[in-house]
Chains A and B, each alone.
Chain A
Amino acid sequence: MSGQTSLAGHELIAGPYRVELVRSAADLKATDWNDVVHRAAGTIFHTWEWLTAFEEAPPGEFEAAHLLAYEGERLVGICPAYLVRQCPRLDYALALGQAEDLRERGPLLLAHSLAGLHGGPLALPGHQAAAQALVAGLEQAARSLGAWAWGVANVPADGFAGRLLGAGYAGAHVATAYRLDTANAAPAGYWAAMPSRRRSKLYREQRLGGRGLTIAETDLDTDILVRLTHELLREYNTPTDVLPEPFLRAVSRHLRPYARATVATGEDGEIVATFAGWEFAGEWSMWIAGLRTGRYPAFEPYHAMLAHTIDAALTTDTRVLNLGRGNAAVKARYGAVGTPLYLALKSDDRRDTALLHAWCRRLEARSHASPHGLGASSRCC
């Protein structure tokens, strides 16, 4: 690989793992990278294609700073990361946490983006120490690249998040992703296992909301993706710069091999609602929704689309259906379980880390006080 900066030898990187820094997805070997993502239970948001789209049309000012952990010559861990100079979602999180002045301190090194549903390092089974080496590498890279702080965005509430919090990282529970285990059930069993009153109510909502619509899993035209996504964002007074058109187009193009979308089409043939997502390594991530909001102000098609998506996941090899953030009550009724996602940040200086704690504390308080869980949920997809 070219364009790599070796960070080996720095005192924070301990153990047998060598960590290298790569400044562009173009300098990564896609198959090796994706193989680690696949085997380390990563998701579409870690894939080489996602990173390539992100670099091609970034929703802000980002410089790639991806980290790779090697045991000998074998790639055993990866950590996508960006030196973030400007990011609408991060700006919003700073504003929510009344910490706008932190923006003036310069760039943050973030692994990797608030846009995805999953962030943080991944390591092959049996190489968990490589994840720690990657965090040490992240810290070293932050110093080398002039970032005043570093951290992980949307890291799920698991052992790795716990290790970061125990290591002094400031943390904010900024969102919850709702995931449905679809590995061990067929549609009949899934619906039968649901309490009968709830099932009846959901059937009714699906029937009423889906009236006159054809729901199907199909290819999603990029123009429609952009139009309906932006229409929904505008309905919630969310600036479309969180998902700018070039970014949506780049994502749509690069991730096409993994695309799985559910769409609702009206009797006139017009696509009126979309769930756009991708499946990678058995996890189908429904990332972004779009809607003709003028026609369906109460999200009427969504119940039928959700049911169709679940049935589709249950009848294919999908292991997990990730229904994304927000609308906890609806997703929980379908049996999805919330996984808290954390933003975890740290600085070299105790005084600066205290500022990060204060920011995260206010951000979390403001997020949970909002009717959608995270006040920024619409801005964070």
Chain B
Amino acid sequence: MPGWDEDIDHRPTVASVSGRRVVDVMVEAGVRTILFDDPIPLDLAFVADVPVDLDLDDWPAAESVLRRLHLQQPIDAVIGVYDLSLPLAAYLAARLGVRGLSLAAVMNCNDKLRMRLTLRAAAINVPAHVVVSESGEAQAAARRLGYPVLVKKVTGAAGAGTLLCRDQRQVKDAVTALHDDTDPRLLVEEYVDGPEYAIQTVTRDSVTELISVFSQRTATDGRLVELGYDFPPGLDESQESELRRLVITALRALGFDHGIAHTQVRLTPAGPVLINVVARPPGGRLCEVTEAVSGVDMVQAALDVALGIPLSRRAPVAEHVRYRCVTFDQAGTVSYDPGALTERAAPAPLISMDVNTGDHVSPKGGVYGRIISYDDDPLSLERLTGALGLSVQPHPSEGQ
């Protein structure tokens, strides 16, 4: 072939800021992979074409390294699929002038105050909120908003920085529990009640496509932990259309141009209220169930968007999802039948536990496992749960 140099690697090159699954997807897609992490896991060091260990908080150093690599062989895109790696990925993409999610969108999603300001400016309902930095302010804000309220970190929560409070004492305790010297700001926010939905999207050249919508169950007993998801979400046509319009408007307002997102919305009598947007795939096993019902792998989608190629789609394999999170309302020692665990691909049912029999569990520990049925029969979920035989032996000292 004229002009074809056998010594040059002609694969597209993508730099990823951390990420195990994304590296697997990139390698499988035949992409030349540059991986930045701190440190690079040993196994990934052998998989990535160019593994680079560096301090991910030192943006100038990361830019300098990537610029050198870019000069050696042009980089096509930079991606990140974790909350903490997204800002650096977007920064590097912008500095090199290659494809990647808009840095403004990432910054707007990484800071809840900024997100709410931006969305409200676009006439999107968000929970009423007050930014505070100490408990007196927080208690005054809670009184103004009315109980219950949520107290949440403005930045750096990584999905675990929110507490539900029903009185002044709980607000004070929440401020103490969530205090972070690096960013003492907290949001005190009205608790918005109503059915919740998790929406997965792909945005390409500022055009957003809804990939999946799940109804979401969240505990309201103070734990504020996700309990599960269902598909179809049970929305009528006009509700789904309203949700679609809201999410598309929200992502545009936040500045999304090329990337994926996971958005949570609650429907209230006063209309939909946007709770949160993250510029990454959803957590837990929502990526798997999204792929099962839509044929779109969200991590693959992130790579496709980064490369500017058509979205890879497989045929959906499921029309129903019943997804339940394993949580506990009392502390103690967990036991279950390990023989019931199953990890086969959808639409086979999934039973997965993150703890072993004999481990300690507590209500504050969040989600300890997942049980997923792709069957329309509600009893199938009960059968799977029954097969697992979960029980908790309370510790005498811990009680409830």
Q: Are B87 and A368 in contact (CB under 8 A)?
A: no
Q: Are B94 and A165 in contact (CB under 8 A)?
A: no
Q: Are A166 and B131 in contact (CB under 8 A)?
A: no
Distance (Å) between the CB of B125 and the closest chain A CB? 13
Q: Are B185 and A329 in contact (CB under 8 A)?
A: no
Flag whether B118 is at the interface (Cβ < 8 A): yes
Band of interface residues on B: 35 or more
Flag whether A191 is at the interface (Cβ < 8 A): no
Flag whether B127 is at the interface (Cβ < 8 A): no
Question: How many angstroms between the C-alpha atoms of A168 and B254 in the bound complex?
Answer: 8
Q: Are B107 and A361 in contact (CB under 8 A)?
A: yes
Q: Are A353 and B103 in contact (CB under 8 A)?
A: yes
Segment 79-100 of B: residues with Cβ below 8 Å from A:
87, 91, 94-95, 97
By CB atoms of chain A within 10 A, which of B108, B136, B181 has the most? B136
Flag whether A160 is at the interface (Cβ < 8 A): yes
Question: How many angstroms between the C-alpha atoms of A165 and B141 in the bound complex?
Answer: 25
Flag whether B44 is at the interface (Cβ < 8 A): no
- CB nearest neighbor in A for B133: A328
Flag whether B161 is at the interface (Cβ < 8 A): no
Number of interface residues of A (CB under 8 A): 37
Segment 253-308 of B: residues with Cβ below 8 Å from A:
253-255
Distance (Å) between the CB of B153 and the closest chain A CB? 11
Question: How many angstroms between the C-alpha atoms of A7 and B165 in the bound complex?
Answer: 52
Chain A residues with Cβ below 8 Å from B104 are 165-170, 353, 357
Chain B residues with Cβ below 8 Å from A208 are none
A332's partner among B103, B140, B254 (CB-CB below 8 A) is: B140
Q: Are B130 and A163 in contact (CB under 8 A)?
A: no
Given contacts A157-B117, A166-B118, contact A361 B182 (CB under 8 A): no
Q: Are B114 and A332 in contact (CB under 8 A)?
A: no
Flag whether A26 is at the interface (Cβ < 8 A): no
Question: How many angstroms between the C-alpha atoms of A161 and B118 in the bound complex?
Answer: 8
| Stretch with Cβ within 8 A of B (4 or more), from A284-292, A313-321, A333-341 | A333-341
Chain B residues with Cβ below 8 Å from A87 are none
Given contacts A337-B130, A365-B183, contact A162 B103 (CB under 8 A): no
Q: Are A166 and B122 in contact (CB under 8 A)?
A: yes
Question: How many angstroms between the C-alpha atoms of A73 and B122 in the bound complex?
Answer: 30
Chain A residues with Cβ below 8 Å from B137 are 328-329, 332, 338
Flag whether B184 is at the interface (Cβ < 8 A): yes
- CB nearest neighbor in B for A373: B133
Distance (Å) between the CB of A152 and the closest chain B CB? 13
The 7 A-B residue pairs with the shortest CB-CB distance in the complex, in nearest-first order: A162-B121, A354-B94, A162-B117, A332-B137, A168-B104, A166-B118, A159-B121
In the assembled complex, 14 residue pairs joining A and B whose CB atoms fall closer than 8 Å, in A order, are: A162-B120, A163-B118, A163-B121, A165-B104, A166-B122, A170-B107, A332-B132, A332-B137, A350-B97, A351-B97, A354-B95, A368-B183, A368-B185, A369-B183
- Measuring CB to CB, which residues of chain A are less than 8 angstroms from any residue of chain B? 157-163, 165-171, 173, 176, 198, 328-329, 332-333, 335, 337-338, 340, 350-351, 353-355, 357-358, 361, 365, 368-369, 373
- Measuring CB to CB, which residues of chain B are less than 8 angstroms from any residue of chain A? 59, 87, 91, 94-95, 97, 102-104, 107-108, 113-114, 116-122, 130-134, 136-137, 140-141, 181-185, 253-255
